[in-house]
Structure 1
Amino acid sequence: MTAADIERATRPGGLAPLFDPRSVAVVGASDNPAKWGYWLASGALTGRHRRTVHLVNRRGGTLDGTPFLPDLAALPDAVEHVVVAVPAPQVRGVVSDGLAAGARCFTVITSGGAGADEERALARLVTGHGARLLGPNCMGVVDTAAELRLSWGDFPAGQVGLVSQSGNLALEIGRLLARAGQGFSRFVSLGNQRDIDATDALEALVDHEPTKAIAAYVEDFRDGRRLARALTAAHAAGKPVLLLTVGRSEASGRAAASHTGALVTARATVEAVCRDAGALLLESAGEVVDTAVCLLAGAGAGAGAGAGVGTRRRAGTAPRAPGAQSTPGAQRTPAAQDTPGTRRARVAVVGDSGGQGALAADAFAARGLDVPPLSEPTRAALAAQLPPGAGCGNPVDLAGAGEADLTAYARIARTLLSSGEAEAVVLTGYFGDYASANPAQERHECAVAAQLAEAAEQSGRTLLVHTMARDTAALTVLRGRGIPVYERIEHAAAALAATEHLRTTPPAPPAPPQPPPAAPPVSDGGYRTTRELLRRYGLAFPDAEFVRSAADAVRAARRIGHPVVLKAMGLAHKTEAGGVALSLTDEHAVRAAFTAMRATTGAGHYAVEAMVTEPHAVELIAGVRRDPAFGPVLMAGIGGVRAELLGDVVLALAPLTPEHARDLLRSLRHAPLLAGWRGAPPVDVDAAARALCALARAAVEHPELAELEVNPLLVHPGGALALDAHAVLAPTERPRT
């Protein structure tokens, strides 16, 4: 093995032996179409004019004129990529033989052994020799540009790179792409990810010129921070990432020791990562395909993708910005989360009937897109081409003009595309179906389809077609020219809204790297300890003293000054447990509250704290939870006792910048409360943002804490004050025996 071979196999994004090997050996090849070995072998042979292909089966045989060799030792020369499709007990032996034959990459279709430990040992064997392993238990790899097909099934060629932990989902996406006139540039089935993981594959797609959009289905995020960096790199390269993942995990269902644990779910964390890295988290294979086709509209063969609404970009140029945002438990409409001040994309709708046009307009408006009235000059230009009484506003009602003359579709679309009054034009209704009823119209309808595509290309605007037709010749023309075609109007609206969101929402700036933790670890998560920890990081708290008896509480209240608050220590949810008494105005009230609280809670320690009554204040909640894949995740939202009821929170990876923290607060559904509601003065959002940054930094520098929370964080016109705090220690791992 030469130094060049090692570099070719292992440099970041440079998985050349996986995607475009000089030679391939399929071990377990078969001439039986019912077996995996047949599909792997026949797929490998499609690229034999480009690379050397060896087929291995100890029983002998041939396929398409290529004889089966008995084992890898019989190869006449070194092999770069070995595909392993043999029973699990034979895998390790095949891999050992492959390493001896000089292999730099292994794709293991079957499992790698009897369990995870054997698979990890297999990965160590491979990587210890400077090679790479895809799988085990994967469906294979496809690179259509490199003519590499090492998988089951047919994969249409196109511009979408797919990384998936599900083989069947990949087949579904492939079929949907083919129906839409698109396909794959690359497909990587991850399997059990014992070496090559989702981030490796994503990084390789970022560097892959034929890939214009990236789709990914990931269940196991592993090193989530590294994955987030890959998503950010894809955005910077102008390659939007459309992500699918599972909706729930054990973390979202467990009993939480704090509000943070209940509100920071696994799904919500991934949503926040996508938003800040410039990716879209979608819900289904259909959404992925619909959005990808819309993103690639007008790209054409060899042209650039990632073009958003209103612009058709050259290859490699980045869309203005991806991102999506949701609250836990409810997926927000992407277009509804536009960055403040961003103008919404304008959409013009053209329909065969008033009903379809009106419903289409409603669908796009509901997705946060603008369906504005057209100007008088544009209305006049349309009226000159339509029958008397036709609707010339927005939506435009053709009123039978298309049936009378098919070219009316192209003329009206061209007028709207070139008007400058809409970034996207949507044609909804019957077009594409005329030849179904009258085959003599097929040639004419196809010619009009070409005119529609030409109008979109010349205008530099986006044209979408929603039609009741399916798979007709005219629709084939549209798809072949890069015009998205949708069978349901809500799918067109969702795809266009997602595309516009990618274009308009900038990813968050990364926080500066933090030094390694230098602070001594925290030994407990009680209020007193947590309060002192956060005070060191700059959070302000009311004056307080900690006591154990009623007499001590009375004396503490006298020193602090009435009114005071009495809190029982050691309770995660003090208010619900009867562990908080407010507005104690004299010694008698303090003593009575202490006696009642001790009887109710049985607590041994209490805090006496100054009562804070700031006018026009808003209660926030802020917390950090340590996610097993993504590390510390900050949560901020509307707080107090209604935090979980409202569920109005936003998430971000910690640490973060003050600018990012301000943007998070302003994106809350109840953000108008912070800006001043019904004549109230605005609160100090900058002070709240600084408090969030301090909390995030404390969590990052104290990895012994699984959760860290302030609730409520009282934000008022003059600053921010933490009224309660709580921490949860991370469980200590038991040594393995």
Structure 2
Amino acid sequence: MTQRHLDRLLAPESVAVFGASDKPGRVGTTVWRNLVAGGFKGALAPVNPRLPELDGARCFGDVAGLPFVPELAVLCTPPDTIAPLIGQLGALGTRAAIIVTAGLTMQQKQAALDAARPHTLRLLGPNCIGLLSPHLGLNASFTQASALPGELALVSQSGALLTALLDWANAEQIGFSHLISLGEHMDVDFGDLLDHLATDRRTRAILLYIESINSPRKFMSAARAAARAKPVIVVKAGRAPAGMQAAASHTGAMAGEDFVFDAAIRRAGMLRVDTLQDLFIAAQTLARFRDNHSRELMVMTNGGGAGVMVADAASSLGVPLARPSPALMQRLNAVLPASWSHGNPIDIIGDAPAQRYVDTLKALFDAPEAGAVLFVHAPTAIVPSEAIARACAPLMAEHSGRVLSCWMGGHSVAPARRAFEAAGIAGYDTPEDAVRAFALMQTYRRNQATLRQTPSASTRSEPDRVKARSIIDAAIAAGREWLDEVQAKALLATYGIPVVPTFRVDASPQAAAEAARCIDGPVALKVVSSAILHKSDAGGVRLDLQGADAVRAAAQDMLAHLQLTRPEALVEGFSVQAMVRRPHAHELIVGAHVDAIFGPVLLFGQGGIATEVLGDRAVALPPLNRTLARELVERTRVARLLAGYRGRPPAHLDALCDTLTAVAQMLADLPEMAELDINPLLADERGVVALDARVRLSSMAPSGMARFAVRPYPAELTRTLYWRGSTLVMRPIRPEDEALHREFLEACTPEDLRMRFFQAPHALTHDDLARMTQIDYEREMALVIVDEQAPGSPNTLGVARLVRDPDNVDAEFAVLVRSDLKGQGLGRLLMQALLDYAASRGTQRLVGYVLRENRAMLNLLKPMGFDIQPDGAQPPEILVASRAVAA
């Protein structure tokens, strides 16, 4: 319903438990006693009409009898009581409730939502274990144990998994800021909690256990915002393909739901792990090693066997080991025995005294190639592990962001582990765990790089949408579900995808022969039948046919073969096309499919008739730009072949990426497109060409921009302005505007920048500009006015920004006009555009913060109806400007 009041849920000052009981084995009994035992300092009230008191506390009979308004209510009562209780609590002033009760029908759930909505009362559950906020001593759950306070937030759809994780975490002394069981998440869901936890000062990293996603765009928008602020690590149940169904296209068969979920996690900048153990390994690594950007690992150990274990793990996980430079080798030769390993892993020999460890570490920390160091130690009887740890810990603490550690063993190395932990060093039980942690970091960094791309859904050239629309409309009107090959290729051509010219003729061998006479050189003959989708498998393709007679004979043979093997399939005709001779070309597949959860999906991989057998594919969510398209390609094995090998030139990757972005644009523009296969798509140094294509349509319009899990670039907001004799363009900002935006900000005076950002200007970094240009269009907007006809290159003249809160109630705005153009009406144009945009999105109010001395901004806002007042929550030099948005 709303983001509001989650603070009442996670950090309440008072709690009432409805259905609190003294009967053993009752959920209400456990919840009440957990609350009491947890040490919660706020007011507590048990509610049970049959008990005068409970565990020494006065018991209340109903909502009306409560002596205070509980900020949080925990409901453990029968299903038919839930909706009435929520209505009464909402009227009283309660704004959050946990529905522990299971077994609510759909009608009872809807009644509960209807009762909560007028009061914006938040509902966690039903059928959930509850939640814990250990820093408050709040255990509003029926877990078997309390939790230690810490900085990890865990949100789980599975109550059983949450209790198991809690038990394991307590044994490992791992603490939490919050543990939250979502249950059936009929109101509070992952998106709500990600938005809240992203700004929660007690939470350093967010852990999610996900079984299903109900609101994909809300989830993706919240996840992308949270992942920019802190690590978000996900365990997703259901990797096995048991739930996958057969699909008509290669793409539908290969783009299984788990591949799509992986694509969503990658696009959101989160990290997915496979096991609960990896969940906590990743959490520790990202907490202590997050800022390390090394791609290679330098290993230091006191045992050759341990070094071999690390090298094997690194090889299997694709982690490269750094090569020591001659300078580092010289340093190590000076401090190590002659018998040291003289390579990476660096084996300093099992008899090493503490000083040898320190000397080796100093050499490594001085070496630029040793950006990430894995310290592996096996206990010996010569030097106590604790003595080595005490000697190394001060040096380690100075370089904690560069070190991973593994103290192999148990009781004997426990003090050493504690010493390194106190120094802020990430530690692991086994060498394999340490290497896996480093590999997870590589994945996390790649996903973060993907997150920072918020691409346009457009291609380099404008497609012929009118012609594409006519092809779709004609097929839908004729009741066709599948476009034939000629229609499919014509549709691709409207979006600039190169295709092989193809003739469509009726089901006559003579007509096929006549078409072949119009083509120089050998031809390919293919059957046209809406009942035959995979033509090669059915014997409906003949290649390298020379001359009309060969084509006629092949057509006759094909018809006879299909009559025997597929008598039910109506042959509607033949397609005849020139054979393409491109000896260096690779056969690829590009496809599109509509996932039941995340909507339109793109697939890329190795193509040809064995594409499903090879299984070399990668999946991505649209929209795409070239950067994201290239990242999609690089996640396949065929990418290494496309780079060129043994004299074979590299393929034209830009042409391939443009094809991928064009398909993404088709998914946005053509909602009726349900499936697409381009297979094979030939790619070589000259570019790409589609040899065959298949498109399935649906009048239900399953695709389209509205179904994208990531909102595409809103090109529809672009408009032309006529200002002081110049023709300007106002449009949403694009990631590609980074250089243009830098020039704009550098053209503003330091004083104007201080008025806008409330601080003295500083040198702009790539990250600064990325935050300004790579925005999430679902919850943000930045409109720029650009003079595209300026001499030399386009110029940005002004920008207006708006960031909506997750409830879409308030939106914070800011406006900046180039310093030499102030007072000429651009600011008013931008401000009015923001008001219009906010109204179109249903936002209720615009709010901005203005320095008292910024007279130009105040003079702009007052005539436009903004109320400008001091705000006690802000410093006295800052005023708050607000205005309701007209519907």
TM more than 0.5: yes
Say if 2:38 and 2:137, in contact at 8 Å, map to a contact too.
yes
Say if 1:159 and 1:210, in contact at 8 Å, map to a contact too.
yes
Shift of the 488–696 alpha-carbon distance from structure 1 to 2, 3 Å rule, reads same
Q: 2:292 aligns to what?
A: 309
Say if 2:404 and 2:434, in contact at 8 Å, map to a contact too.
no
Q: Secondary structure at the match of 1:296?
A: helix
Q: 1:623 aligns to what?
A: 591
Could you tell me the TM-score, scaled by structure 1's length? 0.83
Q: How does 1:42-121 map to 2 (within 5 A)?
A: 42-45=33-36, 50-60=41-51, 62=53, 65-111=56-102, 113=104, 115-121=105-111
Q: Secondary structure at the match of 1:74?
A: coil
1:77 deviates by 2.6
Shift of the 249–354 alpha-carbon distance from structure 1 to 2, 3 Å rule, reads closer
Alignment of 1:459 onto 2:384: no
Say if 2:151 and 2:177, in contact at 8 Å, map to a contact too.
yes
Q: 1:370 aligns to what?
A: 320
| CA distance, structure 2, for counterparts of residue 121 and residue 542 of structure 1 | 59
Q: 1:684 aligns to what?
A: 652
1:31 deviates by 4.2
Which of 567, 580, 583 is the matching residue for 2:526?
A: 567
1:22 deviates by 3.0
Amino acid at match of 2:671: P
Instruction: Give a deviation string over 1:457-491, Cα, whole Å, max 9, x none.
Output: 21242231242115934434444544333333212
Alignment of 1:709 onto 2:677: yes
1:393 deviates by 4.0
1:419 deviates by 4.6
Amino acid at match of 1:425: V
Which of 454, 469, 476 is the matching residue for 2:410?
A: 469
Instruction: Give a deviation string over 1:196-218, Cα, whole Å, max 9, x none.
Output: 11121222221112222221111
Q: How does 1:220-259 map to 2 (within 5 A)?
A: 220-248=212-240, 252=244, 254-259=245-250
Q: How does 1:460-499 map to 2 (within 5 A)?
A: 460=400, 461-470=402-411, 472-499=414-441
Shift of the 68–414 alpha-carbon distance from structure 1 to 2, 3 Å rule, reads farther
Q: 2:545 aligns to what?
A: 584
Say if 1:619 and 1:712, in contact at 8 Å, map to a contact too.
yes
Say if 1:464 and 1:492, in contact at 8 Å, map to a contact too.
yes
Say if 1:244 and 1:284, in contact at 8 Å, map to a contact too.
no
| CA distance, structure 1, for counterparts of residue 74 and residue 354 of structure 2 | 53
Instruction: Give a deviation string over 1:376-423, Cα, whole Å, max 9, x none.
Output: 665565566666645464333343435xx5676566555544554423
Which of 533, 555, 560 is the matching residue for 2:514?
A: 555
Q: Secondary structure at the match of 2:263?
A: helix
| CA distance, structure 2, for counterparts of residue 41 and residue 458 of structure 1 | 47
Say if 2:323 and 2:343, in contact at 8 Å, map to a contact too.
yes
Shift of the 568–377 alpha-carbon distance from structure 1 to 2, 3 Å rule, reads closer
Which of 183, 208, 217 is the matching residue for 1:216?
A: 208
Alignment of 1:672 onto 2:640: yes
Q: 1:335 aligns to what?
A: none
Shift of the 369–647 alpha-carbon distance from structure 1 to 2, 3 Å rule, reads same
Instruction: Give a deviation string over 1:11-68, Cα, whole Å, max 9, x none.
Output: 47x6212111232211122346644324422343467764322221223264554222
More divergent stretch after superposition (614-623 vs 371-380): 371-380
Instruction: Give a deviation string over 1:521-554, Cα, whole Å, max 9, x none.
Output: 5523222433332222222322222222222222
Q: 2:295 aligns to what?
A: 344
Q: 1:129 aligns to what?
A: 119
More divergent stretch after superposition (660-669 vs 447-456): 447-456
Shift of the 513–117 alpha-carbon distance from structure 1 to 2, 3 Å rule, reads farther
Unaligned residue ranges in structure 1 (runs of 5+): 1-8, 298-305, 311-342
Amino acid at match of 1:556: A
Say if 2:589 and 2:606, in contact at 8 Å, map to a contact too.
yes
Unaligned residue ranges in structure 2 (runs of 5+): 563-568, 702-887
Q: Which has the higher contact order (CA 8 A, sep 6+)?
A: 1
Q: 1:510 aligns to what?
A: 454
Alignment of 1:206 onto 2:198: yes
| CA distance, structure 2, for counterparts of residue 614 and residue 396 of structure 1 | 49
Q: 1:396 aligns to what?
A: 346
Q: 2:443 aligns to what?
A: 501
Shift of the 730–143 alpha-carbon distance from structure 1 to 2, 3 Å rule, reads farther
More divergent stretch after superposition (616-625 vs 94-103): 94-103
Amino acid at match of 1:307: R
Shift of the 172–731 alpha-carbon distance from structure 1 to 2, 3 Å rule, reads farther
Q: 1:320 aligns to what?
A: none
| CA distance, structure 2, for counterparts of residue 124 and residue 296 of structure 1 | 41
Q: 1:696 aligns to what?
A: 664
Alignment of 1:141 onto 2:131: yes
Q: Secondary structure at the match of 1:72?
A: coil
Amino acid at match of 2:454: P
Amino acid at match of 1:186: H
Which of 538, 543, 548 is the matching residue for 2:501?
A: 543
Amino acid at match of 2:351: A
Shift of the 635–97 alpha-carbon distance from structure 1 to 2, 3 Å rule, reads same
Instruction: Give a deviation string over 1:263-317, Cα, whole Å, max 9, x none.
Output: 10111111122223222211110111112122223xxxxxxxx72436xxxxxxx
CA RMSD of the aligned region, Å?
A: 3.1
Amino acid at match of 1:157: P
Shift of the 129–687 alpha-carbon distance from structure 1 to 2, 3 Å rule, reads same
Shift of the 180–411 alpha-carbon distance from structure 1 to 2, 3 Å rule, reads farther
Say if 2:132 and 2:140, in contact at 8 Å, map to a contact too.
yes
Say if 2:545 and 2:551, in contact at 8 Å, map to a contact too.
yes
Amino acid at match of 1:534: L
Say if 2:40 and 2:138, in contact at 8 Å, map to a contact too.
no
Shift of the 611–573 alpha-carbon distance from structure 1 to 2, 3 Å rule, reads same
Alignment of 1:160 onto 2:152: yes
Amino acid at match of 2:560: A
| CA distance, structure 2, for counterparts of residue 28 and residue 210 of structure 1 | 31
Say if 2:457 and 2:622, in contact at 8 Å, map to a contact too.
no
Shift of the 731–478 alpha-carbon distance from structure 1 to 2, 3 Å rule, reads farther
Instruction: Give a deviation string over 1:122-142, Cα, whole Å, max 9, x none.
Output: 233323432211111111122
Say if 2:125 and 2:187, in contact at 8 Å, map to a contact too.
yes
Amino acid at match of 1:354: G
Instruction: Calculate percent identity across the aligned residue pairs.
Output: 33
Q: Secondary structure at the match of 1:485?
A: strand
1:498 deviates by 0.7
Q: How does 1:439-450 map to 2 (within 5 A)?
A: 446=386, 448-450=388-390
Which of 311, 315, 321 is the matching residue for 1:361?
A: 311
| CA distance, structure 2, for counterparts of residue 406 and residue 64 of structure 1 | 57
Q: Secondary structure at the match of 1:271?
A: helix
In the comparison of the two structures, how many residue pairs are matched? 671
Say if 1:17 and 1:80, in contact at 8 Å, map to a contact too.
yes
